[in-house]
Amino acid sequence: MQNKFQEKFQEVIANQQSFLLFRQPNSSEVELWLDEEKNDENQFVFHRFDDSEHIIFSTDKVERIAINELVNIESFSLEQSSKKEAISYENYLELISKTVEELNTTSTEKIVISRIKEIENEGVNLIKTFKNLHQNYPKAFVYLWFTKENGLWIGASPELLLEEENLTVKTVSLAGTLPKEEEWTSKEIHEQQVVTDYIVSNLQDAKSISVNGPHTVDAGFFNHLKSYISAEVDDYEQVNKILNRLHPTPAVCGMPKQEAKNFILANEGYDRKYYAGYFGFKMPEKSLYFVNLRCAQIFSDVVKLYVGGGIMPDSNSEKEWQETELKSKTIGNLLVTD
Ligand SMILES: C=C(O[C@@H]1C=C(C(=O)O)C=C[C@H]1O)C(=O)O
């Protein structure tokens, strides 16, 4: 099995074919999906924030090996970035002020604003970086994903969107970010409550809804507030309905959803692409979807880190910039070069 995995992987790399390499939370196995066969039973989707596109990988047989057996990629040629997309500090502060004004003059309660931070690619080693993310974020869903059209993405998401096993569904309400030494204020508590309320209201057809939290959780360089939510459903159709209703949650979009989304698309000034969308798989025994956060696109010359934060009527622009700087470390500080 091990040799077959390595052989297949080296072959797709050499031919620059699409691939998806991932490690599920709390696992030390890595899975490889190559999108070779059309199969309705095992599907892995990457869904864009704005719903305009999704990419589906499907496979007959999932190849798995222990992550420490994964060998390095010899050479993988990456494309150069075609445009600069990073926003300046001044322009970001202006965008946050505009968002705060929107929240104070309309009925919109929360808007999640984001940006790209570009750093130089100093020779990122993809497999060493993947293993580094695995070691540092055991509870995250870690992936490395390539297609010719979308380029190379890497991510370590801490945010479960939806899990289903034996018709029990689970999700989380994750929001509020502070450096580890700081105490939660009413701003973060309210910001996270908005997400919890939204999720619970979208589980209306499910039974036995339970909410546990909020709890303080360690996200590496900072803390978040998180509540655990679970419910029972009658069939898989209901799971799909819930997934479509939940995305995008106020953790990555805002509240009310449509107003927040319109504001984001009109004002953010760049294309989020797959950031703040979702990814995950549906297999006969289990489905697991995560929000695509703490991710980056790797080009030959630069690495584009996607970072954002929830804006509330009492947000401070400078603090919001600092929060995105902190979030950029999740991937940015764990890149391993040769
Ligand atoms: C938007 C991001 O994170 C989301 C926003 C958070 C916040 O505003 O505090 C916290 C966790 C995530 O739900 C991101 O990491 O880019």
Q: Could you read off the pLDDT of 63-88 as tens digits, one per residue?
A: 899 999 999 887 788 999 989 999 99
Residue 97, judged by CB atoms within 10 A of its CB (0-12, 13-18, 19+), counts as middle
Range 167-185 average pLDDT: 96
Our answer on whether the CB atom of 114 is closer than 6 Å to any ligand 1 atom is yes
Please say whether the beta carbons of 332 and 117 come within 8 A: yes
Percent of the chain topping pLDDT 70: 99
Domain ranges of the chain: 2-332
Our answer on whether the CB atom of 175 is closer than 6 Å to any ligand 1 atom is yes
Range 129-154 average pLDDT: 97
Our answer on whether the CB atom of 309 is closer than 6 Å to any ligand 1 atom is yes
Provide the CATH topology of domain 2-332: Anthranilate synthase (3.60.120)
Phi, psi of 72 (to 5 degrees): -65, 155
Gyration radius (Cα) of the chain, Å: 19
Ligand 1 centroid – CA 179 distance (Å): 13
What is the predicted pLDDT for the residue at 41? 85
pTM of the model: 0.97
What is the predicted pLDDT for the residue at 60? 81
Ligand 1 centroid – CA 294 distance (Å): 9
In the predicted model, is pLDDT for residue 299 greater than 90?
yes
Residue 189 one-letter amino acid = I
What is the predicted pLDDT for the residue at 61? 79
**Distance between CA atoms of residues 1 and 139, nearest Å:** 26
Ligand 1 centroid – CA 308 distance (Å): 6
Task: Provide the terminal-to-terminal Cα distance of the chain, rounded to the nearest Å.
Answer: 28
Ligand 1 centroid – CA 322 distance (Å): 13
